[in-house]
Structure 1
């Protein structure tokens, strides 16, 4: 699909944080090629200071306003915004589902081949706002123990054991949860753990940016940490998910359970038991060593 140079363009981002940050790769490439898309989605709204080059819109003000509406997955919003009522959905394209493994690279491929953009990049264009000091608490390790999919969440007890192991190394583990998750984690503060629940995504980004490390489940905040450039360790239940969805911008490593179960469904049921604290700590040490080597270079 060739977008006419003078046409009005909107991009509708999906609600999940990680999907939205990956969708911003498409927005960034549209801007690099001379378009002025208006972006719709709560992630873009809350991170407006981190994407200062982006025009964020609200649906009530733009119904039926756009010649071209691009959405990653089907939404009612896309139909409402489009003059023709027929948005262009990336999920309808074979390239969105492979054969290229990583989702960022799939978006880049679509930008170049399907949208005929000449100047394409893997970057989503996120910029840390002025006044935020990166790595100001260099020994702080942000631990994100939750996520939108419970089956992807490592066990609470193991995250607590991980925090104790990090503290033994002289690091400062800091748990980060959503406001609606705070009550479920409040009790660990009595055990001496730091727990934070920040209301806005921009505040979350600031906390991560000022930290030295990020460890979390396969979830959107890992993509945010990676966009910022904070070294990120992500826990995955199986390798196929990691190939497509591992945080794909800043320095990062993944950790998987040992490959001792032959069937995918069984792997998904047993991965929490199979993935040990020692294995995650080993992955974290690999990330530290790689980051130290990169700093020396």
Structure 2
């Protein structure tokens, strides 16, 4: 693969649609760029965060058809419908097929291993290249807690009533919790009067990023916004159903922690079925307190 990379005059990276997967794949993009390679990224996520990824040649999905056959090498995390169409000779590299992905570990470390061992890059970093624009007041609202109570997979979502109760407990501790939901989810959440007063929705991912970046803390499910908060450097607490999933997928850039349900079940299937019951609000609060003390030992 190293030889193919070095000989490719034009390189495209086709991103997954998921926010978290895209932010992780940007680690590879960042390493390619810092080692002198020029490439084009196809991604709605990066397009919407263009000001947060300066200098990236990025196009959205609508522009893929016009770029058919223009690239000597196309890199993907996994196969996508348009990958081969973009490649002039059908040369497509799916990095999940490399040896680094056959050994359990964190996704960032797997991608770094691909950059170093498979692509032969010398100047390596774990960061994905995201930067906070200078008009954003980073963590200006230090008592504000951005909470993401939803996600793309319902089985990974802690119950709404528990998130609302958590927000109420944070208010009692003089924090300002906010519930971030997608516009399409807003109407459902507005029906809960306790949630409605803390609800925030944004049409653009860049506006979500700005809200998170100016917050003091982030709490959320196993979802892409946790990776976004972590990459931005906002202390992040993530709720996971199982330790093995967290080992691979936890947000792992800035300071952060995970919270897991009580280990009541031996069989993995039962853990995944009942984790929402076994993960209590008090354990989430305790984990948040520990994260705060790590960030500020004075406990302010």
Give the alignment's TM-score, normalised by structure 1. Answer: 0.96
The Cα offsets for residues 40-88 of structure 1, whole Å up to 9 and x where unpaired, read as 1111111111001211023133111011110000012211110111301
- Partners of 1:96 and 1:120 lie apart in 2 by 18
Question: Are 2:141 and 1:141 aligned?
Answer: no
Counterpart in 1 of 2:223?
A: 219
- CA 1:81–1:191: 2 relative to 1, 3 Å: closer
Maintained 8 Å contact 2:164/2:195:
no
Question: Are 2:21 and 1:16 aligned?
Answer: no
1:42-81 superposed matches below 5 A: 42-57=44-59, 58-81=63-86
- Partners of 1:74 and 1:293 lie apart in 2 by 46
Maintained 8 Å contact 1:47/1:202:
yes
Maintained 8 Å contact 2:189/2:196:
no
Counterpart in 2 of 1:4?
A: 6
- Partners of 1:110 and 1:27 lie apart in 2 by 12
Counterpart in 2 of 1:182?
A: 186
Counterpart in 1 of 2:91?
A: 86
Q: Which runs of 4+ in 1 moved over 4 A?
A: 189-192
Counterpart in 2 of 1:210?
A: 214
> Per the alignment, in what secondary structure is the counterpart of residue 180 of structure 2?
strand
- CA 1:89–1:192: 2 relative to 1, 3 Å: closer
> Per the alignment, in what secondary structure is the counterpart of residue 191 of structure 2?
helix
> Per the alignment, in what secondary structure is the counterpart of residue 254 of structure 2?
coil
The Cα offsets for residues 187-223 of structure 1, whole Å up to 9 and x where unpaired, read as 3356663101100000000000110000000000000
Counterpart in 2 of 1:270?
A: 274
Maintained 8 Å contact 2:179/2:195:
no
- Give the RMSD, CA atoms, in angstroms: 1.6
**How many pairs are equivalent?**
295
Give the alignment's TM-score, normalised by structure 2. Answer: 0.95
- Partners of 1:149 and 1:6 lie apart in 2 by 37
Structure 2: state its 5+ residue gaps.
none
Comparing 220-229 with 50-59, greater Cα deviation is found at: 50-59
Counterpart in 1 of 2:242?
A: 238
